[in-house]
Amino acid sequence: MKTLFVYMGGTMGMIPSKDGLVPSIGVVENCLQKLYDTGDVLGSYEIIAAKPLIDSSAIEPEDWNWIGSQIVDRYDDFDGFVVIHGTDTLAYSACALSFGLVGLGKPVIVTGAMLPLVMEGSDGRKNLREAAFAAAKAPAGVWVQFAGKLMHGARVRKSHSSALDAFFDAEASAPPRHLATSLRWQGYTTFNIPLLTFVPGISGQFLSQCLHDADGIILRCYGAGTMPEVPEFKETIRAARLEGKPVVATSKCADGGVALGRYASGANLLSSGIIDGKSATATAAYVKTLFVLSKGQDDASTLAELARPICGEFG
Ligand code: ASP
């Protein structure tokens, strides 16, 4: 069993400094070496680290491209892959790998820690060890291993900002795999896609301004997909659609997703060309929109791809 660890940074390997926690070279590397030297984890490994290691709040789509390329370039040399990542944007990167690793046939496990390895009570060693096990045993696909749970890469979200059990995944109807006959990395470019949460009092002008400056938008609707009764919304969305900007509806609720036709308040927007994000998380809807737009297809193909599940992001 040979595992490639792709180390991006994050709390796991951080050390205290006068400015707060900062990434540090050597901490994760030492822990990993001990896990293998003591026989706690069997097999062999290599580790490749991002330069520089980063707090994951600094992650950008080009970092997803870097991680994906490392995995694809070295795919034949390893049986499984572990990505060590900060927790703040871990769910975005897990989604990005789930969509972008087209034709993946091996396990890719994303993990991190809520407390640095150098701190008492750290969850880092346990998560690293369990991620190494998962890289050997999990089904093919992109999974998040955290606090004893193996979670779907395209259905996961950070649900707690301080507890060690910080991630949660909603039920999925398909594994986190973008099926294809051969492996390739389908890369990301950067677009301006805001996530807009509806709140009582939001104005039509505000949505219009957001969409004017954006390449598309992810709407975080109330409940099953309703939104404030603002007459201009429908026209604004229709105008954005005519310009080829995707407008995707998701739910603010953690579970259940949207069902746009259920209430009149959401149903009347369907005719404006809004895309039903179904039970996708807002994170998955965002990353998927970037993924699909990055292909530079015509509007009909973009819409068709956004409407169908790619890797179990909705059922
Ligand atoms: N700010 C850190 C990061 O995302 C938090 C963590 O890793 O837990 O890199």
pLDDT per residue as tens digits for the range 197-246: 999 999 999 999 999 999 999 999 999 999 998 989 999 999 999 999 99
> At which residue do the structure tokens 């006959």 appear?
181
Ligand 1 centroid distance, CA of 55 (Å): 6
CA atoms within 13 A on the CB side of 28: 34
The residue whose CA has the least distance to atom 3 of ligand 1 is 86
**Residue 268 reports pLDDT greater than 80:** no
pLDDT tens sequence across 77-106 = 999 999 999 999 999 999 999 999 999 999
Angle between helices 204-212 and 232-242 (to 10 degrees): 10
- Which of 12, 54, 56, 162 is the best mutation target for the ligand 1 pocket, counting ligand atoms within 8 Å of the beta carbon and taking the most? 56
- pLDDT of amino acid 58: 98
Inter-residue contact 115 to 165 (CB < 8 Å): no
57 CA closest ligand 1 atom index: 4
End-to-end Cα distance, the chain: 33
* Residue bearing the CA closest to ligand 1, atom 7: 86
CA 124–ligand 1 middle distance (angstroms)? 12
For 281-300, the pLDDT digits (tens) are: 999 999 999 999 999 999 99
CA 18–ligand 1 middle distance (angstroms): 17
Over residues 156-183, the pLDDT tens digits come to: 999 999 999 999 999 999 999 999 999 9
CB 219 within 8 A of CB 196: yes
| Neighbour tally for 96: CB within 10 Å | 30
Half-sphere CA count of 29, side-chain side, radius 13 A: 11
The residues, ordered by sequence, that sit 6+ positions from 40 with a Cβ below 8 Å of its Cβ are 34, 129
- Ligand 1 nearest atom to the CA of residue 166, by list position: 8
**Structure confidence at residue 87 (pLDDT):** 98
CA–centroid distance, 99 to ligand 1, in Å, is 23
| CB contact at 8 A, 164 and 87 | no
Determine the Cα–Cα distance for residues 158 and 151; give it in Å rounded to an integer: 11
- How many angstroms separate the Cα of 56 from the Cα of each of 7, 187, 263? 11, 19, 38
Catalytic residue among 3, 11, 250, 281: 11
Ligand 1: lining residues by beta carbon, under 6 Å:
10-11, 55-57, 86-88, 112, 114
What was the pLDDT predicted at 269? Answer: 78
Annotated catalytic residue 197: no
